[in-house]
Structure 1
Amino acid sequence: MSGGGEGPAAPVAWRLERHVALPSTADLLAARAESGAAEGLAILAGEQLAGRGRAGRGWASPPGNLYLSVLLRPASPAREAPQWSLLAAVALAEAAGAVLADPAAVRLKWPNDLLVGGAKAAGILVESALTATGGIAWLGLGFGVNLAHAPALPDRPTATLGGVETPERFAARLLQRLGHWVSVQREGGFAPVRAAWLRFGPGAGEAITVRGLPQPGGFAGLAEDGSLLLEIGGRRQAIPAGEILSQGNDRGNARGNAQGNV
């Protein structure tokens, strides 16, 4: 991501739209983006009737949880799009930690799952469209957060943030932190975002299993571009994208770059 030298970055001017129910906040955001909506549009739904994640996976969306999609138009090349997932995850982790009695219970699973006490409490969907020259025309960040309800999953535990805030209040909190990190990125590049993600990420050497790799690897940080670094068989390997099957004591099936049911 490109960095500073041009003075303080202008803050994102959020414009929050509230809907009682929508088929999908991500679908509406994409339609608005394609129609030329300006950066800062945020769409909040009290309920999603056809919530979706990556590859058409369903997303259970009962009333009381957060369903929020936001529009950004970063001046970035397409190769940097995955980094925005990590930026969104940092903002989400900070917002979640602010409402929990034990902020230390918040952890991140690469690249964009939020865990509370080791159980999945939120996910992020990142979608984008490209310009003719290979830049990002628009970027949509979708957040699904278990504020009050934790829909059951067959392959992993789920958790909530305790129901202490309404979706509207949590959306405002999340947008504030997201705006902060967008400004940080625009002034200082990806390095401070990467450092912030590592504060919430796995511990050094924590075992991580990735689909397609012959054996688990030990967490060795993030590469400068946000790729996952693993120590496998005495060698360090960079994973730019992938499906994480387990992390530490979590035996769930968290999908990289996916917003599935939480």
Structure 2
Amino acid sequence: MTVRSAPGAVAWRLDVHDELGSTSDCCIAAAGQGAEAGLAIMARRQTGGRGSRGRDWQDPGGNLALSVLLRPGEADGAVGLWPFVAGLAFHGAILPWIRDPALLRLKWPNDLLLGGDKTAGILIESGNDARGRWLVIGFGANLRAAPSIAGRTLACVAAFGTAPDPEILARAICVELDRWQAVWRADGFESLRAAWLERAHPAGTRLVVRGESGQVEGSFVGLDEQGMLLLRCAEGLRRISTGEILLLDRDAAGASGSRGT
């Protein structure tokens, strides 16, 4: 199935499967075989999905498992900025299905929260081949049900609104990806940063960042010009380039904020 969005945008090729091991693995394999940008692979059930930091992404069925292949040019910016394009696209695609849009928030660098709990995540992988750089973006969302994982509280769209058919959501994500890529190319990262912050948990939210060297606590300040997390800690302002982010102020993260458009 071909997905067409704005004039001049890529003609996305959406392949829908009843079951796959990993949609991202399929996209990476296709990139190695010379596939062009715009390939999108969706599985109605994914048996070997993976999340960030080496975690498994459990899929009980009825949720979203989607990966897309892009071939960004040199003018398309650093790979580290693509989570903001992908996050804004994911947020925009899910938002119409949520009863109270203020409850849907972005969390740095690549998660979506509903009522303060994770409902969706993004995994970005990249590489090079004879045709140049490729980028595979994996989107996973709890639509109808949230898996049970010890020590973690997860949310699903159905508990906060109406769970869309995964294929409808996949098509919407492709359209939103085109939209936010166009914004980035026309107006630069500053426009993405401003839009992302409007949809994120509010400034002052207390966060914990866990990394290889330990963990640090502080208050969310915003993003710098390279997309790094700004955290106000006891010793001053810190810039965070990587790490696992946990929210201490869960209620504040899910309570108020502006609606994304």
Q: Report Cα offsets for 1:174-205 as digits up to 9, x if no partner.
A: 21111111111122222211111101112112
The answer for the alignment partner of 1:259 in structure 2 is none
- 2:256 paired residue number: none
Q: Are the equivalent residues in 1 in contact too, given 2:106–2:199 (CA < 8 A)? A: yes
Mapped to 2, the partners of 1:170 and 1:61 lie a distance apart of 16
Matched residue SS, 2:157: coil
How much is the aligned-residue C-alpha RMSD, in angstroms? 2.3
- How far, CA to CA, are the matches of 1:88 and 1:53 in structure 2? 15
**For residue 23 of structure 1, what is the aligned residue in structure 2?**
21
Q: Give the C-alpha shift of residue 233 in structure 1.
A: 2.1
* 1-structure distance, mates of 2:231, 2:38: 35
Q: How many residues end up aligned between the 2 structures?
A: 241
In structure 2, the residue matched to 1:161 is 157
* C-alpha distance in 2 between matches for 1:247 and 1:136: 42
Q: CA deviation at 1:247?
A: 4.5
Instruction: Give the drift of 1:92.
Output: 0.9
Residues 229 and 17 from structure 1, CA distance in 2 versus in 1: closer, same or farther, beyond 3 angstroms?
same
**Aligned partner of 1:90: which letter?**
L
CA contact (8 A) 1:78 1:130 kept: no
Distance 2:129 2:187 in 1: 24
Contact 1:83 1:226 in 2 (8 A): yes
Distance in 1 (alpha carbons) for counterparts of 2:27 and 2:114: 28
Q: State the distance in 2 between where 1:127 and 1:77 align.
A: 19
Q: Which moved more, 1:47-56 or 1:225-234?
A: 47-56
Name the structure, 1 or 2, with higher relative contact order (CA <8 Å, separation 6+).
Answer: 1
Identity between Structure 1 and Structure 2 (%):
44
Task: Within 5 Å, give how 1:1-262 maps onto structure 2.
Answer: 10-54=8-52, 56-76=54-74, 80-130=78-128, 137-162=133-158, 163-211=162-210, 212=213, 215-233=216-234, 235-249=236-250
One-letter code aligned to 2:64: L
Cα distance between partner residues in 2 of 1:57 and 1:214: 19
Deviations 1:153-172 (A, max 9, x none): 22231111115311111111
Report the TM-score when normalising by structure 2: 0.85
TM-score relative to the length of structure 1: 0.85
Counterpart CA distance in 1 for 2:214 and 2:170 is 37
CA distance in 2, matches of 1:233, 1:48: 43
On the 8 A contact 1:80/1:225 being kept in 2, the answer is: no
Q: How far does residue 78 in structure 1 lie from its aligned partner after superposition?
A: 10
Q: Does the CA-based 8 Å contact 1:10-1:183 persist in structure 2?
A: no
What CA distance in whole angstroms lies between the structure 1 residues aligned with 2:249 and 2:132? 34
User: 2:205 touches 2:247 (CA, 8 Å); kept in 1?
Assistant: no
Unpaired runs of 5+ in structure 1? 1-7, 251-262
